[in-house]
Copies of this chain bind each other. A is one copy, B any other.
Amino acid sequence: MLTGHHRNIHFHASPLTPAIRAGLLKQSGLTIWLTGLSASGKSTIAVALEQALIRKPYTKNAYRLDGDNIRFGLNKDLGFTPKDREENIRRIAEVAKLFADSCTIAITSFISPYRADRDMARALHEAPRPGGESGVPFVEVWIDVPVEVAEQRDPKGLYKKAREGKIPEFTGISAPYEEPLKPEVHIKSAETSVEEAVKIIIKYLEEKGYLSTPPAVDDEE
């Protein structure tokens, strides 16, 4: 037996455009791309940012993509050769774009040391969508810390191992970090608390209108 609910399911011949989707879900999607050295504070800031966006007063769906859920899942077939690193970032960018397209706020937290890779991620997001609608916003957030400070923090002992030559091509020690030239947000994490960093990012999002409720699109008539 079908219940009343089932009889009220709405079937639409017209496609679910990004604007209709955003209006129904009361949320627009975007990607917040954190970049910075190991031990710069990216993950800590990403965790706090996700919490702040999901809780009141925002109650937006936000979801982190980070080493824990990507390197051991989607990208577990990839190593650390230059080719694999590039493919790692490419896939992360593609998945973040899917989340943003679904109206979720994707928060990525990866060193992503190369400008070309970050620019590729941006271009993917900003390209028009298949239906011709404009792409999704890409917010590059540079978590900037002097390498000396990161090396002193070294919570996982990675810098020590890199200095001992046990980790080849370690960003900041034996491999370059290409600083963002025009990040949307620049946070100097040695002199900014996690809470302040989150406030700075959210302030940017609010100013751009990314956290406002999208208007309902009336296609029911």
Contact = CB atoms under 8 A, between A and B. Distances in A.
Interface string A23-46: 011000000000000000000000
Copies in the complex: 2
A61 B63 contact: no
Nearest to A26: B59
Interface in A51-76: 51-52, 54-57, 59, 61, 63, 65, 68-69, 73-74
Contacts of A16: 47, 50-51, 54
Nearest to A92: B74
A194 B68 CA distance: 39
Interface of A: 2-3, 5-6, 8-12, 15-16, 21, 24-25, 47-48, 50-52, 54-57, 59, 61, 63, 65, 68-69, 73-74, 77, 87, 91, 94-95, 97-99, 101-104, 124, 130, 195, 198-199, 202-203, 206
Contacts of A5: 57, 202, 206
Contact of A55 (B6, B24, B47): B24
Interface of A is mostly: helix
B65 A98 contact: yes
A186 B164 CA distance: 59
